[in-house]
Amino acid sequence: MNIKAVTIKTLNQSFILAVLALIMSACGLLGSRYSEMHGRVIHEIHDKPLSNTVVVALWKGKEKNNDSEKEICYHVESTKSDDKGFFSIPEWREPSSFSQLKDKSIHVFAFRRYYRTSELTSQIITPKNYIYYLAKPRHIENENKAREARLRYLQLLVGKTTCDLKGESRSNLRPLFIEVIEEAELIAVSDKDRQVVEKLKGWLTYVTSEEDN
C-alpha cells in the first residue's frame, strides 16, 4: 500500500471534519430561522380584498434587564398587499445577539387610510392562511369626537410598532409612519390636532436613516 496516499487521504478527511465542525459552530451562533410568511388583507364585512395596504411585521421578545424582563422589538419587515390583497413577509434569520430572547413572537400590523383593525384579527402571524381584517371606523355622530378618536387610533398604532426598537431594521417602519402622518395631516383641524401631527412626525425622524434623507 502507498503510505503517502494513505497520509493524504487521512489529512483530507481531517480537513473536511474540521470544516464541518466550524460550520456547525457558526450555525449555533445564529438564532432561529423564520421561513417566508404569507397573508391577505380583506374587508371585515364583505371579504373584499384590500390592495396597496401597508403591512408591517414585528419580531418581539423579552430580554433580561437586571432582575426583570423587558419586551423589545428586534426586527421589522414592511411590505404592501397586491391587487388581490395578498402579501408576503420574506425569510429571515435572526443574528446571535437576539438568540437568547424569551417568549418570541411575530406581530403583524396592517394600515390603510380611513380603516381600522377589525376585532376579528389576531396580531400573531402564522406561516399559512393568515388573514388580516380591516373595517371602517365605528360611526360617531359628533365630528370632533370622531376626529379625536381617529387621531388616538393613529397614535396607538405608532406606539405599538415602536416597542423599544433594537437592531438595524427600524427604518422599515418608515412606509407605515408616512401613511399615518399623511392621514393625520388631512384630518387635523385644531391646534391640539396639529400637536398630535407634530408628535407623529417626531417618530418618523426616529425611523429614518441617513440613507433615506
Distance CA 1, CA 48 (A): 76
- C-alpha cell of residue 146: 370622531
Domain range for residue 3? 1-30
Rounded distance between C-alpha atoms, residue 196 and residue 167, angstroms: 27
Looking at residue 28, what is its pLDDT?
46
Predicted confidence at residue 179, as pLDDT, reads 96
- The sign of the torsion formed by the CA atoms of 71, 96, 29, 58 equals positive
In a shared domain, residues 100 and 25: no
Output the pLDDT for position 133: 82
Whether residue 11 sits in one domain with residue 105? no
Query: Looking at the structure, do residues 79 and 118 belong to the same domain, yes or no?
Result: yes
51 and 135, same domain (yes or no): yes
* 131 and 153 inside one domain: yes
One-letter amino acid at 31 equals: G
Q: Which residues of the chain have pLDDT under 50?
A: 6-8, 17, 19-28
Q: Phi, psi at residue 70, to the nearest 5°?
A: -125, 130
Q: Which three cell numbers stand for residue 109?
A: 400590523
For strand 37-43 and strand 130-135, is the pairing parallel, antiparallel, or unpaired? parallel
Do 8 and 96 belong together in one domain?
no
Is there a single domain that holds both residue 100 and residue 139? yes
Same domain membership, residue 78 and residue 22: no
Q: Are residues 50 and 138 in the same domain?
A: yes
pLDDT on residue 24: 43
Largest CA distance in the chain: 96
Number of domains composing the chain: 2
Statement to judge: residues 20 and 36 lie in one domain: no
Number of Cβ atoms within 10 Å of the Cβ of 94: 19
Question: Do residues 167 and 212 lie in contact, with contact meaning Cβ atoms separated by under 8 Å?
Answer: no
The pLDDT assigned to 104 comes to 86
Q: What is the CATH number of the domain that holds 205?
A: 2.60.40.1120
CA distance 72 to 111: 22
Instruction: Clarify whether residues 105 and 80 are in a common domain.
Output: yes
Residue 195 cell numbers, joined: 400637536
**Is 37 in the same domain as 26?**
no
Q: Which residues contact 134 (CB under 8 A, 6 or more apart)?
A: 41, 42, 43, 44, 50, 53, 110, 112, 115, 116, 117, 118
State pTM to two decimals: 0.78
